[in-house]
Amino acid sequence: MNVLLFVLGIPLLGGGALALVGHKAWARDVNVLFSLGTFVASCVMTAQVINDGPFFVWNDQFFIDPLNVFLVTLTAFVGMTTSIFSRPYMRVEQDHGKMTPPRMRLYHSMYQLFSFTMLLGFTTNNLGIIWVAMEAATLTTVLLVSVYRTPSSLEAAWKYFILCGVGIAQALFGTILVYMAADKVLGAEHATLLWTSLSTIKGHLDPTIMSLAFVFLLVGYGTKIGLVPMHSWLPDAHAEGPTPVSAVLSGLLLNVAMYAVLRCKVLTDGSVGTPIAGQLMMGFGLVSVVVAGFFLSRQKDVKRMFSYSSIEHMGLITFAFGMGGPIASFAGLLHMTVHSLVKSAIFFTVGHATQKAGTQVMSEIRGLIKVNPTVGWGLMLGVMAIVGMPPFGVFASEFLILTTAMREQPWATPFLFIGLGVAFASILARVLPMVFGDTSLKPLAHPPALVPVFVHLALGLALGLFIPPYLNGWYVQAAAMLGG
Amino acid sequence: MIKFVPQIINLLATIILLLSFAMISQRRIVTLINLFMIQGAALVAASFLLGYVTNQPDLYVSGALTLLLKVIFIPWMLHRVIRKLNVRWDVETLFNIPTTMLVGIALVILAFSLAAPVSRLSETLAGGSLGIALACILLSFMMMITRSKAVPQVVGFLSMENGLIFAATAVTNGMPMIVEFGVALDVLVGVLILGVFMFQIREKFDNLDIHNLETLKDDRS
């Protein structure tokens, strides 16, 4: 009996159970319970990895090491807090008539299945199953994005499906090429897609095949990360779906795709021997940071603006991993963590603000701090954190990435500063009037669940001030695995 | 028999590629679905043949999966959908066929030049087919971009999946079984979701024109 069974089994069971009873009033609490169970199981698994080191499960099909166990815990944690946030939020949506009982059933069931697909993607050892999990995650989120059944949400979901379907097909082609490379080394009888086996023979994998494979894998999974120019689905999907979905899409799903790219990068680096994979990632990352910064400054819809901010941060993370080396990989992992925490906190407050104002247009949301001080302060602090103000964790990781870039890739530094600077100025300029201006809005019928917001921000702050030694050791180990 | 196998595989590969071209130039939705079905059948034939020659039972399973899904179930479902939506005899008029064909030829050349260094290394019977598989993927990709109706976009998506399966079959003699099943499951669920979406799009917009789905813009207020 392995703890992984619970980590994967609880959300899968939750998806099945909520498909039957998800429309009941108490299903909201059941949803939280399932997410809590997943989180507890993942904490137990983390403790196991800390005590006993990496381990295999079920004929090597699953592999738990410092890199993925940390992402599993992060995913389970944000999944749990988002389910807490979603309780009052979806209740208000139901009162507004945007959600009906059958839609609530679909929403709850897909929420749990989405958690399952992400956790499956993280824990599996098989590159093919990572692909299957990514595609399944797309399918569940397509249903979540379209749950309001409005013309614009249908449009967003259709685009999301088609663009990500095309993107992820490239990743499958890349996976086939990796399998072909393994086939050449191991022979048809023993060929495998297990990452750990490929990792031991990566020096023998054919460099021509592997570099072509990595291009396809990066473009394919890069579509899901939201790298420019494959990003156009992302703002639509984030803006049109329910806010809890925007929070998990932005905070968690993008990380799964990033993780898949990282696993493939390790194999490619080992096989090719030149930094070609890193250079490609730096290129895509840099373009994403700059382009997203400028797109961000043109937005009028608050959820679209923050989804462009996610593209920008994902670009920065891609750039950091592309540079490689222990410090940059460490900073990339730290940035992944704090971005997940802070961005989902921002989406929580933005969700309440838009619900209150009845619109997502920023110029019509004013004076949050007067109607509901906790929402106002939550948004203000979240924004300070995401634009990289000290002492939040984003500042620490951005500082590490920028200083490493100055030392190792000086040519890229001005572009990074331009992208981050434009984003800084435009987000603050938009959000300040939203928080402080005058307003005539009324408070909401159901008090919003704001504990998750402040828990996330407190963690983001704590990571900026002090990284506990075991967490530090964990990041260092994970960074070393990435070939640091 | 064995002597002719590589030729037969290459013949099937060519048929799959030709069908991709036929699909990008086909305006009638009903014919498009039939072409897709034939492409699936050619793929099944290639799987079975390779399975027989290389003596790999996995390829039979993979072929049977494609047969059930791509030749029987999905075409049947698409026919049902277009009958219910009453778009059976719809004809698209938007694109210029000669230009699309020329772009298609350029894509095939690109695919072959990309695949050439890798094909040379392949030791399987049908290793040379990698270029054809990649060409099919790119052609379906183009079909999804140029088409303005929902059903042809979905057929493009599925035909791209065909190209991928053909790549896996021809180049590596099939992926691990568990991955094949996972991919098939994803495709099945995806097609079902898209089918439901088509009805919803029809309900909201009164037709299945994807041009309706272009209202989400950055500077929309």
CB pairs under 8 A between A and B: 141
CA atoms within 13 A on the CB side of A412: 27
Closest CA to A226 of A296, A148, A133, A331: A296
Average pLDDT, chain A: 90
Separation CA B156–CA B147 (nearest Å): 9
Per-residue DSSP letter, A20: H
For residues A317 and A372, the answer to whether their CB atoms sit within 8 Å is no
Asked if the structure places residue B71 within a domain, the reply is: yes
* Mean pLDDT, residues A434-453 taken together: 76
pLDDT band at A441 (very low <50, low <70, confident <90, very high): low
- A128 Cα to chain B: minimum distance (Å): 5
Residue B13 lies in a domain: yes
The number of folded domains in chain B is: 1
Residue whose C-alpha is closest to residue A305's, from B186, B56, B219, B31: B219
Which distant-in-sequence residues (6+ apart) come within 8 Å of A325 by Cβ? Answer: A404, A408, A484
Residue B216 lies in a domain: no
Tens digits of residue pLDDT in B70-122: 999 999 999 998 888 887 777 776 667 888 889 999 999 999 898 888 877 76
Which among B56, B178, B204 has CB closest to A151?
Answer: B204
CB contact under 8 A, B172 and A176: yes
Contact (Cβ atoms closer than 8 angstroms) between residue A258 and residue A317: yes
Band (A33; pLDDT cuts 50, 70, 90): very high
Decide: A305 and A296 in contact? Cβ < 8 Å: yes
| Set of chain A residues whose Cβ sits within 8 Å of the Cβ of B178 | 61, 126, 128-129
Separation CA A228–CA A212 (nearest Å): 20
Which of A364-368, A445-449, B102-106 is predicted with the least confidence, judged by mean pLDDT?
A: A445-449
Mutate to test the interface with A, among B213, B214, B215 (most CBs of A within 10 A): B213
Taking 60 as the threshold, does the pLDDT of residue B219 lie above it?
no
Q: Is B164 on the interface with A (CB under 8 A)?
A: yes
- Residue B164 to residue A304, Cβ atoms within 8 A: no
Q: In this complex, which of B123, B186, B200 lies closest to A139 when CB atoms are compared?
A: B186
Q: Is A161 within 8 Å of B193 when comparing Cβ atoms?
A: yes
Please state, rounded to an integer, the average pLDDT across all residues of chain B: 85
Q: Please judge whether A208 and B118 are an interchain contact, meaning their C-beta atoms are less than 8 angstroms apart.
A: yes
Alpha helices per DSSP H over A124-148:
127-145
- Residue to mutate among A131, A158, A195, A216, with most B CBs inside 10 A, is A158
User: B121 vs A209: CB contact, 8 Å cut-off?
Assistant: yes
Q: Any idea which of A375-379, B90-94, B131-135 has the lowest mean pLDDT?
A: B90-94
| CB-neighbour burial class of residue A445 (10 A; exposed 0-12, middle 13-18, buried 19+) | exposed
Which candidate from B114, B182, B218 shows the least CB-CB separation from A128?
B182
Q: Which residue is closest to B141 within chain A, CA to CA?
A: A166
**Domain ranges (residues) in chain A:** 275-484
A159 to B213: CB separation less than 8 angstroms, yes or no: yes
Q: Is residue B221 part of a domain?
A: no
Q: State whether A136 and B186 contact (CB < 8 Å).
A: yes
Dist CA B110 CA B132 (whole Å): 11
What pLDDT was estimated at residue A379? 92
- Restricting to B residues 55-84, those with a Cβ less than 8 Å away from any Cβ of A are 56
Rg of chain B over all Cα atoms, to the nearest angstrom: 18
pTM above 0.95, yes or no: no
Q: How far apart are CA B179 and CA A135, in angstroms?
A: 12
User: Which segment of A170-174, A370-374, A377-381 scores lowest on mean pLDDT?
Assistant: A370-374
- Our CA-based measurement puts residue B183 at a distance from the nearest CA of chain A, in whole angstroms, of 6
Cβ distance B190 to A165 less than 8 Å, yes or no, reads yes
Q: Is it the case that residue A172 has pLDDT exceeding 60?
A: yes
At A397, the amino acid letter reads S
Which residues of chain B lie closer than 8 angstroms to A129, CB-CB? 178-179, 182
Of B54, B121, B160, the CB nearest to A169: B160
Q: Which class for A443: exposed (0-12), middle (13-18), buried (19 or more C-beta within 10 A)?
A: exposed
Helices and strands in chain B, H and E counts:
8, 0
The closest of A63, A281, A318, A280 to A193, measured between CA atoms, is A63
Contacts A139 to B, Cβ<8 Å: 186, 189-190, 193
Domain assignment present for B19:
yes
Chain A contact for B123, CB < 8 A? Answer: yes
For residues A422 and B176, give the distance between their C-alpha atoms in angstroms, rounded to a whole number: 47
The secondary structure of residue A388, as a DSSP letter, is: T
Inter-helix orientation angle A151-186/B130-146, to 10°: 170
Mean pLDDT, rounded, for A201-220: 91
B221 confidence band (pLDDT: 50, 70, 90): very low
Report residue A105 as tokens: 């059933």
> Is the pLDDT assigned to residue B152 strictly greater than 60?
yes
Per residue in A92-145, pLDDT (tens digit) is 888 888 889 999 999 999 999 999 999 999 999 999 999 999 999 999 999 999
CB contact under 8 A, A192 and B176: yes
Q: Which domain holds residue B69?
A: 2-210
User: Of B92, B189, B188, nearest to B143 (Cα)?
Assistant: B92
